[in-house]
Structure 1
């Protein structure tokens, strides 16, 4: 009996197409294309690859970006079948992106990532908003402006925006038209006067940026929240009579993990601390407070109030800002100069 090493049967070539696609998907692009020389049967197996990842490593493998872009054009030209996942990083040419997006609009893309390396931010192409099967969207250094009549991404589950510029009303509209959204990350995007989250299925939320007011509405599934405000004195007291504490924690009973910065504590104490802690704190198991100052007694009291209001707390991390650093910040704020 012949063993697997001496058998004439080509076991790998006879594997199901989805298994072969998975194997080829684990190879770098150049290696995947090289499989075409194995035999006639393998000549075009790579052209049905459903995940196209043109990342930094792909571009670094070429001496010039123009050569890399020619390869991308050739791959898209001969590709057959759907492209479920498309990732493009470090691209520097707008016309090329527009051409590729037109091609992808017919490929039922479910996961799309675009990192642009341009001096000026890139306008998201019209074809992006035709991706009706989109479940994962990650944009970096782009201008996000949907066309009139945009009906949202009805199947979107994960939205990740980094240094993306958009109109605040567009953001609100996008969230409301993404009913399945579970993960939302906003990092260093457009400054928002009012940041209000209304997403019934949201489970993970991260915001790093600038805003004047922040609150949650209708977030019954939200389990993890990370909020860091960039800059000082950006959050303002929009409701001087009522406490901001219950406003911030309004209606998110499933909250398990919370990470906030010291600036948020300053915001929460405006209007005073409520006698009864919000019910959203009842199930928190992990709490991280970063960049907290020990100089402001009210902020310290707010932190203590928050900690003692979490009866199920298991993990606590507090990152303090040094007194010396705060001193220099105050010096800069008041315009003093020491030589």
Structure 2
């Protein structure tokens, strides 16, 4: 009879999830936007205060719900952060298109930055005040940092991120020796050019393994005076420069490169250094050359290619098919196993 009674309770929809320990339930809630996690407090008495034990927060004004105005968003974030039971935050994500409270960002950074903070994502629209950002760049525990708004790091007195491995930056942040030297174990760097672009990009990092340099702007011909990349342990490289004009490209060889995706607009300034970049990728196992990149190779006055002795997979996109470049490439790939050719044009 006991077994029958237990089975009957399960059939009637007993809340098995609520019987899980708090630590496991909080782990599940940590995958939800914070607004949805707080809403679970209405499920039952068992869930009423669970969200207060969270150490992972995701505040996004773009999410579904009634929080649409800047004022209500600030009130919600302040309320949640003030009622949390654990003082230390592990992951913090924040996106707000507009902030009317000039002190809100400082309060939130004071709450987020601490000895347990490992990951942080910050995205803003037209909010320009960055009071409180300094402490973020001396956070000893930080492993991942994503900035989706322009920050002038020249105003940051010190950069010391000894454990930072993952860094994502917008165009307004200057990628220079001050930033890179402050991240001694940096492995993954994504640099998205979506607004104004800094005149020089300098990447001198022996620890860097993955690099993405992506141009996402809608206006034409912004100029970078110089791009310098010296990353001997780089394994993955993705460069997409559409309307960006890079005058000078200083690059070292990549002996450990495994995979590369290259698409660079065929401007006069690029024709000189694109072949040099392709030669630096001679150890690649997988290589994608976009249509604009091929146009740079076609326009090069003298095209000298290395032997791609490790290359197994080659993908080429032709805007205008050119058999000369194709034959030259194939002659340099003795171990090629997969060849993808896209000749659909623009």
TM-score band by shorter chain is 0.7 to 0.9
1:228 paired with 2:240, answer yes
Equivalent pairs counted in the alignment come to 305
Q: Give CA deviations for 1:174-227 in whole Å, capped at 9, x if unaligned.
A: 21221221110112266455534222222211123543333432422x122122
Q: Which runs of 5+ in 1 are unaligned?
A: 237-243, 323-339
CA distance in 1, matches of 2:14, 2:311: 60
TM-score by length of structure 2 reads: 0.73
Q: How does 1:1-339 map to 2 (within 5 A)?
A: 1=3, 2-3=5-6, 6=9, 11-58=16-63, 61-81=66-86, 82-93=88-99, 94-106=102-114, 108-118=116-126, 120=128, 122=130, 125-145=133-153, 150-166=158-174, 171-188=176-193, 191-208=197-214, 210-220=223-233, 222-229=234-241, 231=243, 233-236=245-248, 248-263=251-266, 267=270, 269=272, 278=279, 280-292=281-293, 294=295, 297-299=298-300, 302=303, 305=305, 309=308, 312-318=311-317, 320=319
What's the TM-score once normalised by structure 1's chain length? 0.74
Q: Name stretches of at least 5 consecutive residues in structure 2 with no aligned partner.
A: 216-222, 322-346
Secondary structure, aligned partner of 1:76: helix
Aligned partner of residue 173 in structure 1, secondary structure:
helix
State the distance in 2 between where 1:117 and 1:52 align: 20
Q: 1:292 to 1:66 in 2, by over 3 A?
A: same
Q: Is the 8 A contact 1:229 1:263 kept in 2?
A: no
Question: Runs (4+) of structure 1 moved beyond 6 Å?
Answer: 7-10, 271-274
Which string of whole-angstrom CA distances, capped at 9 and with x for unpartnered residues, describes residues 5-32 of structure 1? Answer: 6169964344233321122224443442
Residues 205 and 226, structure 1, Cα contact 8 Å, conserved in 2: yes
Classify the secondary structure of the residue corresponding to 2:290: strand
Cα deviation, residue 136, structure 1 = 1.0
Q: Alpha carbons of 1:272 and 1:71: their partners in 2 closer, same or farther (altered >3 Å)?
A: closer
Once the two structures are TM-superposed, the CA of residue 165 in structure 1 deviates from its matched residue by 3.5
Cα displacement (A) at 1:110 = 1.1
Residue 111 of structure 1: how far off its partner (Å): 1.0
Offset of 1:117 from its aligned partner? 0.8
RMSD (Å) for aligned C-alpha atoms: 3.7
